Structures are given as structure tokens and as C-alpha cells.
Amino acid sequence: MELDFKKVLVTGAAGFIGFHLSKRLLEDGYEVVGLDIINDYYDPAIKEARLKLLKPYERFKFVKIDLADKKSMAELFRSEGFDVVVNLAAQAGVRYSLVNPQSYVDSNLVGFVNILEGCRHNNVKHLVFASSSSVYGSNTKMPFSVHDNVDHPVSLYAASKKSNELMAHAYAHLFNIPCTGLRFFTVYGPWGRPDMALFLFTKAILEDKPIDVFNYGKMQRDFTYIDDIIEGVVRVMKRPASPNPSWNGDNPDPGTSYAPYRIYNIGNNQPVELMHFIEVIEDTLGKKAKKNLLPLQPGDVPATYANIDDLIRDTGFKPSTPLDVGIPKFIEWYREYFKV
């Protein structure tokens, strides 16, 4: 049954996915409160530029609040009365979690408890939250399935995302809050994050600088175009998580529950080798990259590949944008934004 909702809280609204989701929801006629702290993990100017595109919508309201600020978060939930909450705010990045672990605890754990408490006390009908493909950690069985055990993260970032899933399950069980976690697989596209490979590679190639190619280019990623991610999120928002009647504690299924709790992968279902990814960028730019071949970095996994059977079955949607369509769209945006 589709959920009838009007007002949505999107956390991380100045971020890459949060911006695109907010824009789509506003265009679809929903009321959106966008929350962001606009930290300096990457250049805040790009976050401000995204927000500038959202502010003209009359049904959009922006609030600058730190997720970890318990009092402000409680007041926001009390005063606004959200139907649905989509939590996309998080300290992102696998490599940065080796440098600044504390920021992951503040945003991804303390902040997430404040989201859960807000939902608990204010009758939120559905909490949708961003998890990550990184939770699969040391798993090698491909493609990654939400029904596989994911108890071996290889970075603190991944551990914090797995923790979100566990925390959400506890609240679904205790307070009957429908909670759906979405494991995103390497999202890319216009307005993408400056710390992501596509942005870094495009910038370096245009500036005649070498690019760092980890795992000697043998890395495989399930690159997923932003529009596919957003379509998946919107469809999931309309379908609050429901209990799985055949769930069995003797053989517990990690992807569902006896409580109103679900996990979905959103990926392109098609892993691509990093070298091919670079070739598509080179072809689009009409320029070759200077490659600095390096070993696998700590915290990185050699391959990601999403099993999306559950997403297709429950929402009727399958991400399908190929790299040779998505990458040119990003590069067109990049050239326009930076005037290069």
C-alpha cells in the first residue's frame, strides 16, 4: 500500500544525494524541510550553490542544524510534524574515517539517535536512511545480497553505517516505526562530491595532473547514476517497511524482520573495472590521463556488486543508466560549473 505523505525532512539537503532528492520531491509537489550543517569536509561553496537552486521553491525551507545537537533536533521534529524522514546527512568517506574517526561518531551515531528519537516522539510514518555498500566489508560472495551477513566492516565509516541499520532495527522493534535502510553503491553524476573518483579524475585530467589509480586499476565498482538512486529512494519512501511474516529466529534473515524493517541495495547491478571507468572519462574529455598506479588503500574493498532483486520485486524499479550516458552528463555539468 502506498503511503500518502505531504511533508518530508531531508537531512544532508545541501549534499549530493540530498540536493537531488529535495529537488525531485519539490518538483513532485511535496513540502520539504532541508537540514544541513554545511561543514567543510569538502568545499562548502558547492553546497551553497546546490542550496541556491532549492531556495526559490516556495515549499522548501532550509534549517542549519547539527544532527548531534539533541535539543535543536527535538525542537525541529516537534515544531514541523514530518510525515516521512529521509536521513542522508552523514560524515562520508572511507579514507577520511582513518584520519578523523570522531566526526563519524558525532554525525553517524549521535546524530542518528537524535533522528530516531525525533521519529519516535512525533509519529513519523516512515524513516528512510542511507546506509552504504561499504557495509559488505570483507564479504566476497558476489553479488552482495541484503540477505547475507555483514558483520565484518573494514573501515569505521562502514561500521557506523552498519550501526545505523542495527539502531533502526531496535527502534522498529521497540516503537513500531517503519524503518528502511538503503545501501547505495558508488553514486555519481552532476553536482557530485569533490572527494569522489569521477570529480577527482576529471579535474586532474583537465589540469594535466596525474590521477591516483588504486589497486592498479583492478578495482571494480557498481557505479550508480544519481537519477537512478533518486528514483529508487522516492519509490521506497512511498512503501513503508512492513514485517516479514515468514521471518524466523532460528534462521534470521538480515535483510528483513518480524518488525517493520527492511534493507535494500540500490546499485546498477553491473560492476565496472576502474580502468574502463577512466577510459570513458578520457573519451568524453578527449584527453588521456596520466596514471599513478598504487596498491589497494586501507579500508577500501576490491569490488562491489549489488544484488537488487528485492528492490525490483518490491518497487518495480531497476537502475539502468550506463556509464557512457552518466559520465558525459557529469562532465557537461563540471565544465559549465567551473567554466572549463
What is the four-CA torsion angle of 11, 308, 133, 251, rounded to 10 degrees? 110
How big is the CA angle at 257 (ends 254 and 263), to the nearest 5 degrees?
Answer: 55
Question: Backbone phi, then psi, for 277, in 5-degree steps?
Answer: -55, -45
Distance CA 309, CA 322 (A): 19
Distance CA 295, CA 317 (A): 36
Alpha helices (runs of H) in 238-290, residue ranges in sequence order:
274-285
For 104-158, give the DSSP string.
HIIIIIIHHHHHHHHHHHTT-SEEEEEEEGGGGTT--SSSB-TTS-----SSHHH
Alpha helices (runs of H) in 176-262, residue ranges in sequence order:
197-206, 226-237
Distance CA 92, CA 107 (A): 9
Catalytic residue among 157, 188, 264, 334: 157
Q: Tell me the CA distances in angstroms from 15 to 19, 153, 176, 249, 313, one per residue in order.
A: 6, 24, 29, 38, 29
Assess whether 157 carries a catalytic annotation: yes
Question: Backbone phi, then psi, for 314, in 5-degree steps?
Answer: -90, -25
Name the residues annotated as catalytic.
Answer: 157
